[in-house]
Structure formats: C-alpha cells, structure tokens
Amino acid sequence: MAEEHYLELSENPVQFEHASSVNNVFFDEANKQVFAVRSGGATGVVVKGPDDKSSVAFRMDDKGEVKCIKFSIGNKILAVQRTSKSVDFINFIPDYPHTEFSQECKTKNASILGFCWTNWNEVVFITDQGIEFYQVFPDKRSLKLLKSQSINVNWYQYCPETAVILLSTTVQGNILQPFAFRNGTMSKMSKFEIELPVVPKPAKLSLSERDIAMATIYGQLYVMYLKHHSRTANSPSAEVVLYHLSREGSCKKSHVLKLNTTGKFALNIVDNLVVVHHQSSQRLPARHHHQRQRR
C-alpha cells in the first residue's frame, strides 16, 4: 500500500544558478518566476518559470546593483529597481521600443521599499511614506500617477491572487492597512490590529515581515500571523493565527493553529493546506487543512 503523504516534490524542479557574489537570485510570487541576475559588464538575466517552456534569457545594461526585478503579467514589461528613488522599465512587447525608461517616486524624500504589478500595465510603488499607483504606457515609455496615499510604512506584503497589498504601520508595526486594486482603481480596506503577545515599553517595531503571510484559502483571503510566545509564558508553543480579510467589512480572527513547538518557521499554502516549516528540526510540525465555513 502506498504511503500516505500531504506533500510531494515536483519531478521537474526549477534549476538555476545559486546566489553568489556575482549572481543575485530573486523570486516573483505573482508570476512564479525565479530571476538569476549575473552582474559584470552587461547584466545577464535568466528567468525560470514553473516549467522549462517559460524560461527567458536576455541581457541589459549594468546600471548598478539590482534590488528587485519583476515582469508584469504576461511578461510584457520588465521592471527593475536599482535605487530607493526610482524604478526602471523595459518593453518586451513585440514592435515596441526596447530602450529603458524610468519613473521616480512622487513623494519627496521617500524611499521605495518595493513595487508590485497589479495588471500587465499597472504598477504600485510602496515607499516608507505611502503608496503610489501608476498606469504604464509602453508605447509612450511613460507612467501616469492614478492615485496615491500617504501613510507611514514599515514593510508590506502582497497577495497576487487578490491584488491586495498589506502595509505595516505605526511604531510597533501591528496596525495593518490593506489596499485592494482592480481595473485601474485603488480601494482602501478596513485596517486592523494584530494582537502582540508582549507590548514593548518603550514602543518599538515588534511585528516582523517574516511573521506575516497572505493567502487565499478556498477562495477567501486570509492574513496569517506566526505568533511566538516567550518560553516563560503559559503557552510556550508558537501559533499561527488566521485573520479573515474581506473586501467589505472588518477583518476578524477566525482560526488558531497550535504548533506545539518553538523556533523559526516559514509558512506556505499548497492546495488550501497551511504548511508550516520548522527550520531547526527540518520538518513540518503541523499540517492543517482549513475547513470551509458553512453559511
């Protein structure tokens, strides 16, 4: 009888040159693409998709260290961030000019934390002072600011399936402000608070980007919080707290997954399964199939 299992590795793994002093590796969650960027003279870029047929290789001018690199949906436009002030764009649409064009963030003295493609020609800059939503015109090699929002930002998360960006705000970082994007519009959703196990005094950034993940489970958007307890607390084990984030109405805590262990973890969602990786033991301490909620 075959052994039962929850997960199995692909028979055709994506292979790429490992990260080194001359090779940077990036992963784009939206397109499921791995970028291997090799510097030195002209910059060589190899893009590996979920299968061999989606691989792309090209060269671009070396204009400095690449901080972030992503294709828009359908590999139509490439965006490259090299500085904290601007993002460069290159057309990959046939018969369009292939020369680079650039866009600086509009907010004065702001630093770009990163960017997200929400459509093939719509991109969001996330800065430490807010977000800027642009439409890209590849034929004119220019961008148009559609909408912006000023807000102090510590870090951000993006869920490509729902085109929702989550911003960490306030000194402690545990007030999360989501924004939804659809067909050229940006909507501000209800902000919500993550309950911290310990409130620091004086206040300091206490909610880490690595302890938050966003995912769609059975078609519903959830924010997952990896909650660590101190060893002296009554509940020494870590937990994964699920918050159901609806486009209408407030965000509500819905489920708690107890991990029965402590340490460093990583979260993934595979086929509506919440998978928790435990780094020190190199195992899965909990496997939790989120159940549909009956109406």
pLDDT in tens, the chain (295 residues): 456 777 777 788 888 888 988 899 999 999 999 999 998 667 899 999 887 667 889 999 889 999 999 999 999 999 999 999 999 999 999 888 788 999 999 999 999 999 999 999 999 999 999 999 999 999 999 999 999 999 999 999 999 999 999 999 999 999 999 999 999 999 999 999 999 888 888 889 999 999 999 999 999 999 999 998 765 556 568 899 999 998 887 888 999 988 888 888 888 888 898 888 887 776 665 555 554 443 3
Report how far apart, in Å, the C-alpha atoms of 50 and of each of 12, 29, 266 are: 9, 11, 21
Model pLDDT, residue 1:
46
Q: Is the distance from CB of 81 to CB of 112 less than 8 angstroms?
A: yes
Name which of 122, 167, 175 is nearest 149 in CA terms.
Answer: 167
Q: Is the distance from CB of 145 to CB of 106 less than 8 angstroms?
A: yes
Model pLDDT, residue 200:
83
Model pLDDT, residue 293:
42
**Considering the entire predicted model, what is its pTM?**
0.89
Model pLDDT, residue 6:
72
Q: What is the 3-state secondary structure (H, E, C) of the chain?
A: CCCCCCCCCCCCCCCCCCCCCCEEEEEECCCCEEEEEECCCCEEEEEECCCHHHCEEEEECCCCCCCEEEECCCCCEEEEECCCCEEEEEECCCCCCCCCEEEECCCCCCCEEEEEEEECCEEEEEECCEEEEEEEECCCCEEEEEEEEECCCCCEEEECCCCEEEEEECCCCCEEEEEEEECCEEEECCCEECCCCCCCCCCCCCCCHHHEEEEEECCEEEEEEEECCCCCCCCCCCEEEEEECCCCCCCEEEEEEECCCCCCEEEEEECCEEEEEECCCCEEEEEEECCCCCC
Model pLDDT, residue 247:
80
